Structures are given as structure tokens and as C-alpha cells.
Structure 1
């Protein structure tokens, strides 16, 4: 017997970090980046990934979120099955693409099918998000919501998901710095800063407000305004100490070569940079100018 689930990655457009504190965030699915999770009969409980092959519960602590998923589903079903869980596909890890949420969701769905559990959508999201909390500290729920969506989503912890089907009529350039981000460290840094710096609290409130302004501008297809909000958001995120010299340099190059706005995306301290552009030609030009600073890039119509 074999069951499987394919889940895609995500990119946060605006609202990273502020979403943890109850503000809105806007994120989009990236279907070009996906991972297929398969569960099949085996003679032991086994994990097969690109980086680890071995007994599931002997995997490194990086996989603790997935261990939680298995323990939870085994408890719900009343049995512990001997299975091999295989992960195939490619989402760069620790870049802000939601790789951990993708595999947590895929594992939850594929294993629940295997065990004959009829989980509700909310139960799937709760398990996925708890795995995210184990992986990253204080998870907002945004990653879990977006990797489970076929549309852009506005999200906050109180209201949950609101789908956004309207098109902006612009192009998004996504550039991988090649440097691992660290969501847990970044979230802790920002939390500690907010505890001691009143100015940081004001900046966080403004970051939350910018997501609402982006939403209003999106429906008007006002790309220029959204670009300016991206730039302001980047300045705020940099003030939190989670940008890097490379990210700053990439943003400067992007703006000098026609980007409407540019910012880090995700936890920060590395990871990915997004640039809002009028068209693909501009996006390709920026990627070319940044070629010595990036390990890969993607261009998406939004």
C-alpha cells in the first residue's frame, strides 16, 4: 500500500514577522517548487530524504516537526505502522520558501490517508502548524496556510485565510542569496528587540499597516504604490537587524535597474530577496546584474 501528497512552496510578499504579532500578511504559492511525500509499507519505520536516510525517529533534530506529525497521527489511529516515508522534489531549505511547512503538510496528508484517518481541513492545518512551531519557535500559521492554497492569501492569526484571486498585472523576481536563513533566530531577535525598544514596536505596527496598504493597492493594480511599500518594509526589516549586507546590495542593484520595490522575504538573516517589476525583461536584467550574488532565481507573473 502506498499513499502520497504533493505540496508546493510559498513566498511571503509582505508581513513577515509582523504576522507573528497578529497583523496581516500576504503570501503566494510557488508551484514550480514542490515536494512529493510518499508513505509505503516497509519492514521498519524509515525516512528517506535528500539529506537523511535512516530510522525515522533517529533523524536529526531538524526533523523534530515531522516526528511530531508521526507521533500525533499514530496516537489518533491507535497504531504505529512500519512505513517508509519518502520525500522527493526540490525546495531550497531555510530560504523562506516554506520547505518545512511543505513536508509537514505532505506528511500529515499522506500518512493520514495511509492510516485511514479522515482528518478535517482544520485538523490538518493544526498539525502542520504545530510542526512549524516546533521547527521555528513561534509560528504564525502563514506558511501552513499558503503551502495549502492554490491562490495568494491574506492571512492573520485571528481570521485565518482569505484568498486573493485578483491579478496585479506585474512580475515578481525571486532571488536566492544562497545563504541559509534562520527563522528561529530571527524571530527571537525581533522578539527581544520589541521587549526593549519602543521604536521597534512602532515599526512593527507600521509593518503590519503596510500589508493592509498593499492589499488596497493590489485591487487598484497600483504597482508603483506596492513597490514603495516593499521598499519601506525592507527598511523596517533591516532596522530589526535581520537583513544582511548581501541583501542590502541586491536591493540597491534591483532598484537601480528598474525594480518598483525590493525586499527580503521570510525570516531573514539570509534566504531570498523579491523584486517587484513591471515586466519579465526588467526582472531578467536585474537577475543578470545580481548573478554574482545569487545561487538561483525564479520569475513569476502576479
Structure 2
């Protein structure tokens, strides 16, 4: 018997970092980027990924979240069965595209199907989010909610996710800087500033307010306003030292070539950036001008 589950990635539009402090955030699934988890019987517990092939529970520490998922699901199934769990797909790791939440969700769902556990949605998301806590030290639940959604997600840590089905009728250019971000390091960097500087706490509150404004502008299909909000958010994230010289360079190119707004997405210190564009032609033009300094790009109609 073999079971598989395909889960997609995500991109945070606005509210990264501030969402950890209880403010709202807006994120969207990226249906074109996904990871498939396949579970099948084996003679020993085995993990097969692009970066690691070997004993599941002897995998490096970056897989600790997955080890938790598998251990928890085996306990729920009251099973000592040995399995081979294979991961295939194309979501780059440590870029802010939700790779860790995606594999945690896909593993939970694939094992739920394999053992016919019939876990509830809340149970599946709780396991996924706990894996995220292990991976990143502090997780708001936003990534887990968005990789589990087919629609734009308006999220609050207390209230949870709300699906927004409205379209902006715009184009989002996502660019991979090729620089590995570190969520743990970035979250810690912001936390230190918030704990010691009242101005930093005020900036976090402003990021949360911008997320509320972005939701309102989205529902009005006000592309220009969302572009302005992106630029304001980027200035705040930059002030927290989360930007890099490459991100700054990409910002200049994007805004000089017709982008309505630009910001990093995710924890920062590398990872991905997003540029809001009127249409795909502008997005393609910006991507072409940036192609020599980025690892990859994707264009999503939003």
C-alpha cells in the first residue's frame, strides 16, 4: 500500500513579523509550487529528499519538525510499522515560500490517509503548526493556514484564518534572491529590538495596521494603494535590518521599471521578494532585468 499527498507553497503579502505579536497578516497560496509526500512500507524508517537520504530519525536537526510529525502520527495510529517517506517537488528551502509548513502538512495528511485515522482539520493543522514551532522557534500559524488554503488568507493568531476569495486583478512577481534566510535568526533579531526599543514596538504595530489597510484596499481592488502599502512595509522591514544589499538592488530595479510596490516576503535576511505589477508584461520585464542576480522567479495572477 502506498499513499501520497500534494501540498502547495505560500507567500506572505503583508504582516510578516508583526503577525507573531498578534497583529493581522495577509498571505496567499502559490498553487504552482508544491511538494509531494509519499508514504509506503519499508524494512526500516527511511527518509528520501533531494538533500537527505537515510534513516528517518537520524536525519539532521533541520528535519526535527518532520520527525515530530511522523512520531506523532505513528503514536496516533498505535503503530510500530516501518515506512519509507519520500519528498519530491520544487519549493526552495529557507526562502519564505513555506517549504517547512508544506512538508509538515503533506506528511500529516499522507500518514492520516495511510493509517485511515480520519483526523479533523483542526488536529491536522495543530500537528503541522507544532512542527513549525520546532523548526522556527516561534510560529504564528500563518504558514500552516496558508499552505492548507486554496484562497488568500487573512490571518490573526487568536482568530485564526479567514479566506478571502476576492481577486485584485493584478500580477505578483515573486523573485528568489538565492540567499538563504533564517526564520529563527530573523525572528530573534526583531524580538531583541522590540524588547529594548519602544520605537521598534511601534513599528511592529504599524506593520499590523498596514495589513488591515491592505485587506481593505484588496476588497476595493485598489492596486495603487496596495503598492504604496508594500513600499511602506518594506521601509519598516529594512529598518529592522532584515533587508540585504541584493534585496535593495532588486527594489531599485523593480520600482524603476513599473512595479507599483516592492517588499521582502517572509522573515527576510534573504529569501524571496515580491513586486506588485499592473500586468504580466511589466512583471516579465522586471524579471528579465533581474535575471542575472536572482535564482528564480514566478509570476502569479492575483
Q: Decide: shared fold, TM above 0.5.
A: yes
C-alpha displacement of 1:300 = 0.7
CA distance, structure 2, for counterparts of residue 79 and residue 171 of structure 1: 47
Matches within 5 A, 1:32-111: 32-111=32-111
- 3-state secondary structure, aligned to 1:139: coil
- 3-state secondary structure, aligned to 1:65: helix
C-alpha displacement of 1:80 = 2.2
Q: Which residue pairs with 1:255 in the alignment?
A: 255
C-alpha displacement of 1:119 = 0.6
CA distance, structure 2, for counterparts of residue 46 and residue 83 of structure 1: 6
Q: Which residue pairs with 2:148 in the alignment?
A: 148
- Is 2:35 aligned against 1:22? no
- 3-state secondary structure, aligned to 2:275: strand
Deviations 1:25-62 (A, max 9, x none): 11111111101101001111111111111110010001
Matches within 5 A, 1:159-178: 159-178=159-178
C-alpha displacement of 1:266 = 0.4
- 3-state secondary structure, aligned to 2:175: strand
The TM-score normalised by the length of structure 2 is 0.99
Matches within 5 A, 1:113-152: 113-152=113-152
CA distance, structure 2, for counterparts of residue 14 and residue 85 of structure 1: 34
Structure 1's consecutive aligned runs of 4 or more residues displaced over 2 angstroms after TM superposition are: none
C-alpha displacement of 1:299 = 0.6
CA distance, structure 1, for counterparts of residue 125 and residue 254 of structure 2: 36
Q: Which residue pairs with 1:233 in the alignment?
A: 233
Q: Which residue pairs with 2:242 in the alignment?
A: 242
Paired residue total: 302
C-alpha displacement of 1:116 = 2.3
C-alpha displacement of 1:293 = 1.4
CA distance, structure 2, for counterparts of residue 193 and residue 271 of structure 1: 21
Q: Which residue pairs with 1:112 in the alignment?
A: 112
Two-structure CA RMSD over aligned residues (Å): 0.7
- 3-state secondary structure, aligned to 2:298: strand
CA distance, structure 2, for counterparts of residue 27 and residue 262 of structure 1: 15
Deviations 1:80-138 (A, max 9, x none): 22110001111011000000000000000111221221210000000000000100110
CA distance, structure 1, for counterparts of residue 249 and residue 168 of structure 2: 26
- Structure 2 unmatched runs, 5+: none
